[in-house]
Structure 1
Amino acid sequence: FHSAGHHPIEICFSTKCAVLLVFYSVWVAAVGFLLLMWDGLHYLPGPFVSSSKGTGAVTLLIWTHPFDQYRELPDCFALFRIDGCKLTDDERAYGVADAVLIHHREVATGTAELPPEPRPSGQKWIWMNYESPSHTPRLRRFEGVFNLTMSYRTDSDIFLTLHISKPRLVAWVISNWSESHARVAFYYQLRRFVPVDVFGRAGRPLPEDSGGVSLVQLVGRYQFYLALENSQHTDYITEKLWNAVRAGAVPVVLGPSRKTYERLLPPEAFIHVDDFPSVRGLARYLLMLRQNPAKLRRHLDWRAGYSVYQPAFWAEHYCTACRGLRRSRARTDVVPDLTDWFRS
């Protein structure tokens, strides 16, 4: 068109040329629109707007640090190979965050408020809670508030997967002692038949590093460890089980059903109190194992074919939430029955 030095409109008389001119005009308009959009994307204000949003990366705002204990936010890719995640606890990012992760305890007790409404378009609120329903107050305040759930429940929207004889018999570490707990009633019955060494507020003092290596070393001195949950609810299994596994003790569990535990461990890796018609029957079994190392080995041999991976609180929870957020970007619905679901 331009070889003769003319504008295209001046020499376009044929039908074929007219069709070419229409395609040319559409092409110019499309390119101009794309250039305008590209320029606009680069002109968006604010330090929390990432140019990687178009590639599937997300920004996750940690609204409160659980139990008001500050922890440095992790590098999700470096630690867990979860990419495309930007974590921040700076409330100024609220307007541009793809989602806000809200820990239940702080907003339920009033030490923190929910983020302001109206929330930014397309933003999701994630309800995070790792306490049992018995210790989760004021749930009904939050009906229809959250878009995603994150908890120990396996049917949560975002679930954090939990990828030889000993010189002493049974240990139990307990910090929250309540006479109304089923585990305390169980302990009173069990101690009538076998000796139980109790550590914590109701027993001997714990090692100074009670939450880490020292606790595992303490439990490792025993053949059996009482992994008794403070309440019995669907999927509610805490670090008590994993402390025993890490230490090499056989966990004696009180919590949800055996089937639930078998999602996490081989059937022979633990002893469930429901396997016996009475506490006395369980006690007899423990004493029998103590005298029969070959039978006790049945509860330990599974370790040769498995490795144990225990998630890190709370760093991996944040990164797992971020990964779950990326997978649910198209969802806009809310959780309508949070209380009934969590208590079911």
Structure 2
Amino acid sequence: LFIIGSASVTWKCHVIVLKTTCSWMCVATVGFLLFLAVCLLYLPDSVSQSFASTAEKSSEVTLLIWTHPFSRYRRLPDCQALYQVSGCTLTDDWRAYPHADAVIIHHREIATNVSELPPEPRPRLQKWIWMNFESPTHSRGLWRFEGVFNLTMTYRTDSDIFGPKPRLVVWVISNWSESHARVLLYHQLSRYVQVDVFGRAGRPIPGDSGSDSLVRLVSKYQFYLALENSQHTDYITEKLWNAVLAGAVPVVLGPSRDNYERFLPPEAFIHVDDFATVRELAQYLLLLRRSPARLQRHLDWRRSYRVHQPSFWAEHYCTACVAVKNAKGRTDVVTDIANWFQS
């Protein structure tokens, strides 16, 4: 009889006869090992739970949020309650720095001021995580951080920690008219996928409603509806470029695909004319959300191109100045302006 706590375990021992060359010490050793194995098998729950508790503690981690993104305080989540992630402690208290397993550092707050990084030397085995969900166009000072971080967390599928944009489709619209083809498209598309609408015809744009606020809003989504209010040759407005700058894939309605390909590579956008029905378009967007590798095909072109967005209206005035200089001494006139522009 062997007693552990209040639990009792009884067993019979059967020792196999060994070769005569084995001494009684060998038999005793084998017997002890059998005894120990049986004890471990019959440990009571209270003892086995303490072993499990020790194992769980070894897998617990503390993550320090060094700065809240864009300097806006947000209450830290309960990972267990929201996502069933156990053993994770989140804190924004800098006093936890010496014993934190990792520090999450948002790029915007350190982009122009390296001194905002945590102090060196960092604690042994501590990881620094570079977090950035802005597009490269809006990520200044990247060259400053070569060899600084241990892990990356971005919207790119080849990040160490892949963080896809949490929302699917967004549309920003001010001029709403039921007679517009884009409004009809919205009504049909919203039957199959969630479309968040902002602008005068929807929810207010967070922030000051300037171009930067718009790009920040769109950057939270995977797809942006760049739908023109009318379809004409080369009539492609800032809607397209806001999506590109934000790192979202534009879903376009406007001139033909060939027309858009004068300005962007074929894979840089999704044209509604590529699909027989709006339902097929919706199914494709959902497919891309489930397949990061497929989605990446619409983003890889960015490695070979950069986007220049003219500044309204200053750059236009200066471009006109160059044209006037080139036409100096000539007074040609434009004929058939209406037919040309409407063609």
- The TM-score, its normalising length taken from structure 1, stands at 0.52
C-alpha distance in structure 2 between counterparts of 1:341 and 1:178, whole Å: 26
C-alpha distance in structure 2 between counterparts of 1:315 and 1:201, whole Å: 26
C-alpha distance in structure 1 between counterparts of 2:180 and 2:330, whole Å: 40
- Aligned counterpart, 1:303: 302
C-alpha distance in structure 2 between counterparts of 1:239 and 1:340, whole Å: 25
State the Cα deviation string for residues 93-142 of structure 1 (Å, max 9, x = none). Answer: xxxxxxxxxxxxxxxxxxxxxxxxxxxxxxxxxxxxxxxxxxxxxxxxxx
C-alpha distance in structure 1 between counterparts of 2:187 and 2:330, whole Å: 49
- Aligned counterpart, 2:214: 215
- Aligned counterpart, 1:201: 200
Higher alpha-carbon Rg: 2
1:11-22 paired onto structure 2 within 5 Å: none
State the Cα deviation string for residues 138-163 of structure 1 (Å, max 9, x = none). Answer: xxxxxxxxxxxxxxxxxxxxxxxxxx
Displacement after TM superposition at 1:325 (Å)? 1.2
1:340 has 2:319 as partner: no
Q: Which amino acid aligns with 1:285?
A: Y
Q: Which has the higher contact order (CA 8 A, sep 6+)?
A: 1
Aligned to 2:187, the other structure's residue is in SS state helix
C-alpha distance in structure 1 between counterparts of 2:299 and 2:208, whole Å: 26
- Aligned counterpart, 1:252: 251
Q: Which amino acid aligns with 2:248?
A: A
- Aligned counterpart, 1:226: 225
C-alpha distance in structure 1 between counterparts of 2:261 and 2:208, whole Å: 30
Displacement after TM superposition at 1:197 (Å)? 0.4
C-alpha distance in structure 2 between counterparts of 1:318 and 1:203, whole Å: 33
Give ranges in structure 1 of 5+ residues lacking alignment.
1-163
- Aligned counterpart, 2:13: none
Displacement after TM superposition at 1:226 (Å)? 0.2
Q: Which amino acid aligns with 1:320?
A: T
- Aligned counterpart, 1:16: none
State the Cα deviation string for residues 276-333 of structure 1 (Å, max 9, x = none). Answer: 1111111110000000000000000111111111000000000101111122224322
Aligned to 1:242, the other structure's residue is in SS state helix
C-alpha distance in structure 2 between counterparts of 1:210 and 1:254, whole Å: 23
C-alpha distance in structure 1 between counterparts of 2:333 and 2:254, whole Å: 30
Displacement after TM superposition at 1:202 (Å)? 2.2
Displacement after TM superposition at 1:249 (Å)? 0.2
1:175-186 paired onto structure 2 within 5 Å: 175-186=174-185
Aligned to 2:244, the other structure's residue is in SS state helix
1:321 has 2:320 as partner: yes
C-alpha distance in structure 1 between counterparts of 2:231 and 2:210, whole Å: 23
- Aligned counterpart, 1:263: 262
C-alpha distance in structure 2 between counterparts of 1:190 and 1:273, whole Å: 11
C-alpha distance in structure 2 between counterparts of 1:223 and 1:330, whole Å: 51
Displacement after TM superposition at 1:248 (Å)? 0.2
- The TM-score, its normalising length taken from structure 2, stands at 0.52
Displacement after TM superposition at 1:246 (Å)? 0.4
1:312 has 2:305 as partner: no
C-alpha distance in structure 1 between counterparts of 2:248 and 2:184, whole Å: 23
C-alpha distance in structure 2 between counterparts of 1:207 and 1:232, whole Å: 29
C-alpha distance in structure 1 between counterparts of 2:203 and 2:212, whole Å: 18
State the Cα deviation string for residues 60-105 of structure 1 (Å, max 9, x = none). Answer: xxxxxxxxxxxxxxxxxxxxxxxxxxxxxxxxxxxxxxxxxxxxxx
* Alignment RMSD (CA, Å): 1.0
1:1-344 paired onto structure 2 within 5 Å: 164=156, 165-344=164-343
State the Cα deviation string for residues 151-198 of structure 1 (Å, max 9, x = none). Answer: xxxxxxxxxxxxx32111000000111111110000000001111000
Aligned to 1:198, the other structure's residue is in SS state strand
The number of aligned residues is: 181
C-alpha distance in structure 2 between counterparts of 1:201 and 1:319, whole Å: 32
The structure 1 segments of at least 4 consecutive aligned residues displaced by more than 3 Å after TM superposition are none
Worse overlay, 275-284 or 207-216: 207-216
C-alpha distance in structure 2 between counterparts of 1:264 and 1:324, whole Å: 21
